[in-house]
Structure 1
Amino acid sequence: MKNLDRDKLLEKFDREVEKLGIRLKEADEFKVMENVFDDVTLLALYKLVNKKHISLIGGSISTGKEANVFYGEDWEGKPVAIKIYRIQSASFKTMSEYIAGDPRFSSVRKSRKEIIFAWTKKEYSNLMRAHDAGIRCPKPLHFDRNILIMELMGEGETPYPQLRAVDHDEIDMQAVYDEVMESIDTLFNKANLVHADLSEFNILFDGEHPVIIDMGQAVTPDHPKAIKFLVRDIRNINRFFKRFCNIKDEEEFFKKVVGEHRMTP
């Protein structure tokens, strides 16, 4: 995109959000992050603003491998997380592995843009399934193109810490472990999902309970690699927790989760 075209788009965005009463925090930082706020993203953000899903767009609160998350507020002033998948730098090949074989997205074309749009929709759908099944996770609110708006899991503008970063001597790690393992079971048997990337990096801690996040890659049990991913999730969680508490036998827990649907990983 030419700088002139981008400048015009930013000027239009500024005028429109001002007209709608949207507040921009750290506007300069917002505008210079060209690898995040390209023309497609700005247009998607404009649509979400125009539909009054956002009343404030704040600064960055986290940066991941594929996406940036920004603080925001809805029209009632409630905090939300605005997750923006980077179209230019997200791992296209990695995303394709999880989408290919998912019957929900079998019609998606294999262009970078279409894969990322499908990934955003996929995370919205996965979070909704998990939330409805009773999993502690962000409630998804809205999405458009490569932008997902969801409940902010944190206090004020600060997200809860990752499980890996908390003081493990100050909490009951056995109880946390048991709850995470129960979540794996619930995801499979009630939400009909396998997280497929579960680890101490994708679990927050709210002071009492673990909170599961980052579910764009989650797959349904009929995905060709679902069982392999489930085994990996179980092993990752046991690897992390074995230093802090008693862990379950991986094979026995796997059999408990999949039950009569057991397959060879």
Structure 2
Amino acid sequence: MTDKLLRKIEEEISRLHMKEHGVEELKVEEDVFDKPTLETLYKLANRGVITAMGGSISTGKEANVFYALGEDKRELAIKIYRITTSNFKAMSDYLIGDPRFANIKQSKKSIVFEWTKKEFKNLVRARDAGVRVPEPILSERNILIMEFIGEHEQHAPRLKDVGRDLEDAASFFEVVIDYTTKLYQNASLVHADLSEFNILVEGGSGDEARPVFIDIGQGVTLDHPNAEEFLSRDIHNICRYFSKLGIDASEEDVLASVKGLV
């Protein structure tokens, strides 16, 4: 990338109001905002996909999530996977065996790009199956754009942080199991990393509270060799957590229910 193009990108970043967060600060975070990623953001802004971009709302081991605005001031979440520091071995374990990604090249860049596509496709399948997930909007290179879940630029809390405040934890648990069942039976998917860390609580802690499944990039289709093992692990995690909230959660019964055996 030429210095002239990089300056243009920085000008565009400034127009998107990222300047208040510091372009120099972002450039220091080379593992997230490398030059190709900045170039992609620039192109998305020129296409009107992004009209304003704010600060980080979540930092994970493989990716950062940023608040943004899109067309008609729609609130967006932009997930940017790190190409240089992501756990490629762990990603490969979930990609290999998935027939949708049979011809993936074993390079860092290829694995991250395919992982980003995988999360987008999993979100589409989950949403079509009736599971509440962030609506997927676009996947390009290592950037995933989706619906923002939250209010006032603050993402909805994770279940791990507010579970004990739920007024009706039993009903919330039932919806979580219903979503897990819909993933399995309707979408032929297993989340494969389901826990209180990857469920948002939308609508407050009262009767309107409902779960939102997130971080579904590692989700696998049922023909993946480890699909059943991952399902059992998901159910163990959920039952373990809700048991702490006083909910009678039998892993055997839940597993049978999810698989349609009862």
Superposition TM-score, scaled by structure 2 size: 0.91
Question: Equivalent residue for 1:172?
Answer: 168
CA, structure 1 residues 242+143, in 2 after alignment: closer, same or farther (shift >3 Å)? same
- For the 8 Å contact 1:235–1:250, the answer to whether it is kept is yes
Task: After TM superposition, list the pairs within 5 Å mapping 1:1-265 onto structure 2.
Answer: 8-16=4-12, 22-24=16-18, 25-28=20-23, 29-166=25-162, 168-206=164-202, 207=204, 208-259=209-260
Which letter does structure 1 place at the counterpart of 2:233? R
Matched positions, count: 254
How far apart are the structure 2 equivalents of 1:17 and 1:145? 18
How far apart are the structure 2 equivalents of 1:8 and 1:226? 48
Question: Equivalent residue for 1:263?
Answer: none
- For the 8 Å contact 2:169–2:247, the answer to whether it is kept is no
How far apart are the structure 1 equivalents of 2:173 and 2:50? 36
CA, structure 1 residues 57+153, in 2 after alignment: closer, same or farther (shift >3 Å)? same
How far apart are the structure 1 equivalents of 2:159 and 2:52? 28
User: Which 5+ residue runs of structure 1 have no aligned equivalent?
Assistant: 261-265
User: Which 5+ residue runs of structure 2 have no aligned equivalent?
Assistant: none
How far apart are the structure 1 equivalents of 2:2 and 2:245? 51
Between 1:248-257 and 1:238-247, the stretch displaced more is 248-257
Which letter does structure 2 place at the counterpart of 1:244? L
Which letter does structure 1 place at the counterpart of 2:221? T
- For the 8 Å contact 2:243–2:249, the answer to whether it is kept is no
How far apart are the structure 2 equivalents of 1:247 and 1:48? 48
CA, structure 1 residues 184+95, in 2 after alignment: closer, same or farther (shift >3 Å)? same
Deviation at 1:57, TM superposition (A): 1.3
For each residue in 1:148-181, what CA deviation from the matched residue of structure 2 results, as whole angstroms up to 9, or x when unmatched?
Answer: 0000000021000110111614421111111111
- For the 8 Å contact 1:56–1:72, the answer to whether it is kept is yes
CA, structure 1 residues 251+17, in 2 after alignment: closer, same or farther (shift >3 Å)? same
Task: Please state whether the residue corresponding to 2:89 is helix, strand or coil.
Answer: helix
How far apart are the structure 2 equivalents of 1:167 and 1:234? 17
- Percent sequence identity is 50
- For the 8 Å contact 1:44–1:146, the answer to whether it is kept is no
How far apart are the structure 2 equivalents of 1:128 and 1:170? 28
For each residue in 1:91-138, what CA deviation from the matched residue of structure 2 results, as whole angstroms up to 9, or x when unmatched?
Answer: 110000000000001011111100000000000000111111111110
How far apart are the structure 2 equivalents of 1:168 and 1:160? 15
For each residue in 1:46-75, what CA deviation from the matched residue of structure 2 results, as whole angstroms up to 9, or x when unmatched?
Answer: 222222110011111110111000010002
Deviation at 1:12, TM superposition (A): 2.2
Task: Please state whether the residue corresponding to 1:166 is helix, strand or coil.
Answer: helix
Superposition TM-score, scaled by structure 1 size: 0.90
